[in-house]
Amino acid sequence: MKKAYIFPGQGSQFIGMAKELYDTNSFAKEMFEQANTILGFRITEIMFSGSDEQLKQTKVTQPAIFLHSVIYAATLGETFQPDMVAGHSLGEFSALVANKTLDFNDALVLVSKRALAMQKACEAQASTMAAVLGLDDAKVEEVCASISDDIVVAANYNCPGQLVISGTISGITKACELLKAAGAKRAIVLPVGGAFHSPCMEPARIELEAAIKATNFKTPICAIYQNVNAKPTTDPVLIQNNLIAQLTAPVRWTQTIQNMVSDGATNFKEVGPGKVLQGLVKKIATDVEALSA
C-alpha cells in the first residue's frame, strides 16, 4: 500500500482556518509567526478573524492555503511518510515543501510573488473561468478550440464530467452557450477575478519564472506528480520548469490521480483546508481510500 499526500488549491479557504492549529501547537504557532514576518503583514489575523472579502484577495488566499497545508503537514511528525505527492494548482507548492524540494521560507516567498503576479495579470485583462459539468473532456476541448477570436481553454481537468475552462469574459460567455447547446448539464461562470491556467496568465508566468529560477530546488524524498503533465519526477530542474509552465497550462488532476493509482497509490490523504480533493479522488478512482490527513 502506497500513501499519496495531496494538497488543495485556491477556493478551499474559510475564515477561522488553522486557528485551532495555531492555538494548540507551539511549533505551528512559531511557523505562523515566521510567516507573518516574511510576508510583512499579519496574515494570521485575516485567516482567523478577517472578513470574507479580505480572505478572497488572491494575495491573501494563496499564502493562507499554503500555510495551512504546509504547517499542518509539518506537525504530523513521523506519521507523515509520503510515497508520492501532488497538489492542485497552488497546492503544488505545498507538495514541494512536503517532499523537501523547497524550504518553507523559499516556498512562501514564491507563493506570495505568484499571488501578486497573478493579481496583476487579472487586473490587466478582464477574464474569468467557468465549470462545465456532464460533458466529455474531448467535446469541451473541441468547443473551446472552435472559438478562434477569443481566449478560451481547458484549465482544470478536475474529474470525469467536471472540467473548468478559462479565458476572456467574452470568450467564456460564448463557450458556455455553445457547451450547453452541445449537451453540457451545466456551464457555470465562477466567482473568480481572472483566467487562471490560461494564456491570460502569461505576464505572471514571465514574472514568476525569474523568481523560480533564482530559488534552490533540492532533490526530493519522493516523486511529485505535477499538474502540467500528470507525471512523476524527482528531477529538480524538471520540477522547476514544470512549475513555471503551470501558470499558463491546464491542471491535469484527473490524469494525475489516475497515474498515481497506476503506480500503486491506494491511500490518499488530503492535507490542508477543506475536503474538495477527497471528493474528486473518489470520483476518479472509486476503489481507493481518500481521507483528511
Contact 288, 281 (CB under 8 A): yes
**Contacts for 284 with CB less than 8 Å, ≥ 6 apart:** 159, 160, 253, 254, 257, 258, 261
The catalytic position among 89, 112, 127, 166 is 89
88 tagged catalytic? no
d(CA 151, CA 169): 9
- Strands 84-87 and 223-225 turn out to be parallel
Which three three-digit cell numbers place residue 264? 500503486
Instruction: Read off the DSSP letter of residue 246.
Output: T
Nine-digit cell string for 285 = 478512482
What size, in residues, is the chain? 293
> Is 89 among the residues known to form the active site?
yes
Count helices and strands in the chain by DSSP H and E runs: 13, 10
Query: Of all helices (H) and strands (E), which one includes residue 120?
Result: helix 104-124
- Which positions are annotated as active-site residues? 89, 197
